[in-house]
Amino acid sequence: MSKRNFILLIIILVIVTTITLFYFYSNKQESSLPSSSGTNFLSEFFPFTDNTKKPPTDTENPIDISGYVPPTTEVVSVNKLKKVSNLPIAGYGVFMKEKFKDVSIVPVPPVIENPVEVTTKTVTKKPTPPQTEFVPALRYIEKATGNVYQTFADKIDERKITTTIIPQIYEASFGNKGESVIIRYLKEDTKTIETFVGSLPKEMLGGDTSEKSEITGSFLPENITDLSVSSDTLKIFYLFNLNNNAVGVMSDPLGAKKVQIFNHSFTEWLSAYPNNKIITLTTKPASSVGGYMYAIDPNRKDLVKVLSNINGLTTLTSPNSKLVLFADNTLSLKIFNTETKEYIQTGVKTMPEKCTWNTQNTVIYCAVPKTLENISYPESWYQGEVSFKDKIWKIDATNGSPTLLADLISISQGEEIDGIKLALDENENFLFFINKENSNLWELGLK
């Protein structure tokens, strides 16, 4: 064999070997896919699985059907960003609230038909009641004191509506369409996690709350490890450990009408309540541990596997529970169809905890880091080792196509925002989120 042919043979072998290794590595990466209001209270202390007990296993791998390549150009629209509250808050709720319409009064001069004779007539007319409208409103609870504040979304006017003092709150949620609150805090002397549920004072239309401005309620069981509120805010689901098992209970927002629907030896769960027919349970994430997601029908009390064996798995299920937004330890965001068992890529890198679905199940809004460091996710973010500077992206859930809406630091007067606990109002006019850095509440106008 000539020297020229020998060199040519060596080059061909190198090319074939490189292609083979690339194909093998790509398949290996894909095989790690299943065989989705922010971080919750307990996960701030123990956010990751200890892997001492195993969840049930076995499921088929979903199939990537997207074929999508993310765009390299950014489409920025004009948006309005407002800081709703400078107070560090533990949680917030969005609901529709009735208020009087703002009406401009224009004086109309009297018309005199006969300038010579003027007759004064007294006319008795029933007064016209002022017009009202329902607009998005926010209620949120201050971390330091437990006081509840309220404002309308279109016109920020922060008002304190309660005087009950509960210091050092870690997490708060709102139920009953903003009329009740769930407060979670750590009792310092015993290191016990307390969960208080209470009714908020009634309000008068156009006025402040009634004379009684205290929260009245009761306590749920101690050391609840996880709690979630249903999408219609009329039910809650919570988990606590009993006899080394995780027990799941469903109730109304004030803790009444309790029904146990879950009991399992594996105890490291994060729950979500996308609709009244489905509650999801995802194992606490760790970058080096395969994560699993299950769904429970509250009526049948069954446990159905949805995703499995994905390192660093975090999830967010759509309101109709047919689609699951999920990410792995690379933070690559994907949309899984629970009916077809297929998934599509979004071309976006973030965590589902930094996203929210619209009510039509067609659009996802996400706070997406501008840059990512080469470290372990998601635990490095949970533990505060890394913080993000976010942009807001809108993702089409039908094909995964993302559109850039806003670079937050450029319209926040220089404040770096790491967005969590995203939520939309009913008409999708506003996007709300908390800055993880200082727990301030923000809103972004979408229309």
Query: What pLDDT shows up at residue 190?
Result: 83
Worst-scoring range by mean pLDDT, 39-48, 102-111, 273-282? Answer: 39-48
User: Does the pLDDT of residue 345 top 50, yes or no?
Assistant: yes
Residues of the chain with pLDDT > 90: what percent?
66
Q: Assign 191 a pLDDT band (cuts: 50, 70, 90).
A: confident
Residue type, 361: N
Q: Who has greater pLDDT, 376 or 29? A: 376
Mean pLDDT of the residues in the chain: 84
Average confidence (pLDDT) over 395-415: 94
Structure tokens at 331: 């933070």
Query: What pLDDT shows up at residue 111?
Result: 57
Q: Assign 29 a pLDDT band (cuts: 50, 70, 90).
A: very low
Average confidence (pLDDT) over 252-268: 96
Closest CA to 185 of 175, 173, 200: 173
User: Does the pLDDT of residue 66 top 60, yes or no?
Assistant: no
User: Does the pLDDT of residue 16 top 90, yes or no?
Assistant: no
Q: Who has greater pLDDT, 431 or 104? A: 431
- Fold of the CATH domain 33-100+131-445: Methylamine Dehydrogenase; Chain H (2.130.10)
What are the residue ranges spanned by the domains of the chain? 33-100+131-445
Apex CA 366: angle with CA 303 and CA 172, to 5°? 65
Query: What pLDDT shows up at residue 209?
Result: 52
DSSP state of 398: T
Query: What pLDDT shows up at residue 72?
Result: 43
Tell me how far apart the alpha carbons of residues 246 and 262 are, in angstroms, rounded to a whole number. 8
Query: What pLDDT shows up at residue 180?
Result: 96
Query: What pLDDT shows up at residue 121?
Result: 58
Q: Who has greater pLDDT, 377 or 128? A: 377
DSSP state of 218: E
For 23-53, the three-class secondary structure string (H helix, E strand, C coil) is HHHHHHHHCCCCCCCCCCCHHHCCCCCCCCC
Q: Assign 19 a pLDDT band (cuts: 50, 70, 90).
A: low
Q: Which residues neighbour 39 within 8 Å (Cβ) at sequence distance 6 or greater? A: 47, 353, 382, 420, 436
User: Does the pLDDT of residue 409 top 50, yes or no?
Assistant: yes
Q: Who has greater pLDDT, 331 or 26? A: 331
Average confidence (pLDDT) over 263-288: 96
- List, for residues 89-123, the tens digit of each pLDDT value: 999 999 998 888 866 555 656 655 555 555 555 55
User: Does the pLDDT of residue 351 top 90, yes or no?
Assistant: yes
Query: What pLDDT shows up at residue 250?
Result: 97
Query: What pLDDT shows up at residue 99?
Result: 81
The size of the chain, in residues, is 447
Q: Assign 262 a pLDDT band (cuts: 50, 70, 90).
A: very high
Closest CA to 418 of 325, 351, 329, 373: 351
User: Does the pLDDT of residue 60 top 70, yes or no?
Assistant: no
Tell me how far apart the alpha carbons of residues 305 and 266 are, in angstroms, rounded to a whole number. 14
Tell me how far apart the alpha carbons of residues 261 and 278 are, in angstroms, rounded to a whole number. 12
User: Does the pLDDT of residue 127 top 90, yes or no?
Assistant: no
